[in-house]
Amino acid sequence: MSLAKITQVKAPALAVPGDDIDTDRIIPARFLRCVTFEGLGEHAFRDERTGPDGKDRPHPLNSEQAARIAKDKKGVMVVGFNFGCGSSREHAPQSLWRFGFTALVGGSFAEIFFGNSTALGVPCVTLSKEDLAELNLFVQKNPGTEVAIDLEKMTVRAGDKTWKASIPASARESLISGKWDPIADLLEGSSAIEKTAQSLAYVAQ
């Protein structure tokens, strides 16, 4: 099963400010009772986007640029530090990906959230505190501006500014080599697995 090699992501950006945004805020627990992940995108940040009366609250995901990202399924989310902390629900990155976000730029990411995102082919790259603040401000002042993430050069670019980005080497390699989905990788190697199994005396034939 051949997967796309993800070397660059270029898409309109949306800033969701704040540190320590946990997975319960990203996708409330009541939406975890699903058989598949289909439809989760519309519930991303649901409790922050919608009040008890059912009316929309001011939130970046209720903006016009967010609507365009949801329509085109192409967007970069700019976040703060320790994004995706809390419970290790896979539904959180699934909801953002299904909303339309194909990459995230932040100060730091919770480890399990990061791993689940990478397994979807969604790069989560980090910038220094100063560079992230500059990017965040630029995106908020220029709604819908395109942000380009280059995983080969390890840079993030917006307008005429370029910042040095970081991502763990193993995650970077899996993305740029097209080996970011471990299940697809396992299925691709099924013949080799079967061959090894047949050579083991303790495996029932």
Stated length of the chain: 205
Q: Per residue, what are the HEC states of 141-193?
A: HCCCCEEEEECCCCEEEECCEEEECECCHHHHHHHHCCCCCHHHHHHHCHHHH
Task: Determine the Cα–Cα distance for residues 155 and 162; give it in Å rounded to an integer.
Answer: 7
205 residues of the chain, pLDDT tens digit each = 568 899 999 999 999 999 999 999 999 888 877 767 888 888 999 999 998 888 999 999 999 999 999 999 999 999 999 999 998 889 999 999 999 999 999 999 999 999 999 999 999 999 999 999 999 999 999 988 999 999 999 999 999 999 999 999 999 999 999 987 766 665 665 676 677 777 777 776 5
163 backbone dihedrals φ, ψ, rounded to 5°: -120, 150
Asked if 135 and 78 count as a contact pair (C-beta separation under 8 A), the reply is yes
Which residue bears the tokens 């990906």? 97
Q: What is the CATH number of domain 8-178?
A: 3.20.19.10
What is the chain's alpha carbon radius of gyration, rounded to the nearest angstrom? 19
* 155-158 β-sheet, strand order: 124-126, 101-106, 75-78, 8-15, 146-150, 155-158, 161-164
**Cβ(136)–Cβ(15) under 8 Å?**
yes
Q: Is 49 exposed, middle or buried (0-12, 13-18, 19+ CB in 10 A)?
A: middle
